[in-house]
Amino acid sequence: MPVTESNDQNQQLPATVPPTKEPRRPRTWPLWLVCLILLAGLVALGLWSWQQWQNQQQLQQSLEHVTQMNSQLDKRLNQGSSSQSDRLESLETTLREQQQTLSEQQRQIDHAARELLDAGNRTRTDWLLAEAEYLMRIANQRLVIEKDIRGALAALKSADDVLRETDDIGVYPVREQLAREILALRSVNDVDRTGLYLQLEAARDTVTQLTDRALTDKAPDFSSNGQDRDNTETAEDSSPLSRAWERTKSSLSNVVSIRRLDEPVKPLLSPDQSAWARLNLQLMLEQAELAVLRGHENLYQQALDKALDSLNTWYDNSKNRIEALKNSLAELKARDINPELPDISRSLTLLKGRIAGRHANNEAPMNGGEENSEDSQDDSGSEDDAS
């Protein structure tokens, strides 16, 4: 049974068809290979580009770093150059100062050496002439600056005594001029400035001791106390009617007052005004003292005139102290504190010329001796050459 079923099935199957040949498929692997190669090249190109970009970034960073380093180095170089220039300038300044100091010291040494040489070559006459010149300078300073006639006269006399001890004949014109100047100084009235100053100082002390009692009465006393007292006494002795009349008259006199004045009325001084008067007078006297010391005639006269006007205006002339003070100031005002002074500089000029002449005469032989020694050396040298 089963065999028959399989045969039946085989009989029912379709007939087998012989296999036919399939067409060949095209080969695509070369294309894929080319695509893979292109993809690999693109990847490689991307990697290379990324690497190049990284290298460029590193190069740019390195360049920026180098630029910063260059700027820092430039700053340091500029700072170093500026500091070096400052140091060089300070060194140059120090060198200049040292050169100036050295040159000044050299000049001082040369001057001291010349003075020592001059001092060694000076004689007693030169020293006496220098002393006389110093005394004449002192006399001129005393007369011109301090207005001291006595001091100038004493200095000129001492200079004449010194010149008398010299053995130089050339000082004769100097002594002749000195004699004229001494005579001119003796003819001038000497001003005792110290005495004048002390007298003005004594007057200032007197003013400080003045009290308000020394002030003059600036307003007359028109009080009618005595008249009222007399009227009262008479009124007590009279009748009531007369007493009433007197009271009426007194009340009317208090309302209306008629006074006859022969002099202008001046107000009474307050304590502050009296102190101001004393202070003003003291200031005028101090100004006069300053004018005496400086020899200002106009200022001296003006100060004393103001002081006398203050005394006449504010103080009572009947007081003995005020009268003595006025007489003292008037006597001081008559003094001449700035007499005309003679010129005593001519003798000093003549003496300077004589000293300069002596120095020139002393230097001439020295220069001549040096020239003679040089000539002798030249002659000896020529003789040696001839031999």
Is residue 123 within 8 Å of residue 165, measured between CB atoms? no
pLDDT digits (tens, 9 = 90+) for 153-205: 999 999 999 999 887 888 899 999 999 999 999 988 877 888 888 988 888 88
User: pLDDT value at position 163?
Assistant: 92
Between 59 and 274, residue with greater pLDDT: 59
User: Which range has the worst mean pLDDT, 257-271, 311-325, 356-370?
Assistant: 257-271
Delimit the domains of the chain by residue range.
123-190+341-365, 192-217+269-338
The CATH class for the domain spanning 192-217+269-338 reads mainly alpha
The CA-atom distances, in angstroms, between 143 and each of 180, 295, 340, 344, 376 are 16, 12, 11, 9, 55
Question: Quick one: pLDDT at residue 23?
Answer: 58
CA torsion sign for 259, 262, 263, 269 is: negative
Tell me the average pLDDT across 224-249.
58
| pLDDT tens track for 265-312 | 444 455 566 778 788 888 999 998 888 888 788 888 899 998 888 888
Select the more confidently predicted residue: 342 or 319.
342
Half-sphere exposure of residue 315, counting CA atoms within 13 Å on the CB side?
A: 27
State what percent of residues in the chain have pLDDT above 70.
70
In tens, the pLDDT along 154-164 reads 999 999 999 99
Q: Give the residue from 129, 169, 59, 63 showing the smallest Cα distance to 348.
A: 129
Q: Is the pLDDT of residue 145 over 80?
A: yes
Spatial distance between the Cα atoms of 374 and 377, rounded to a whole number of angstroms: 5
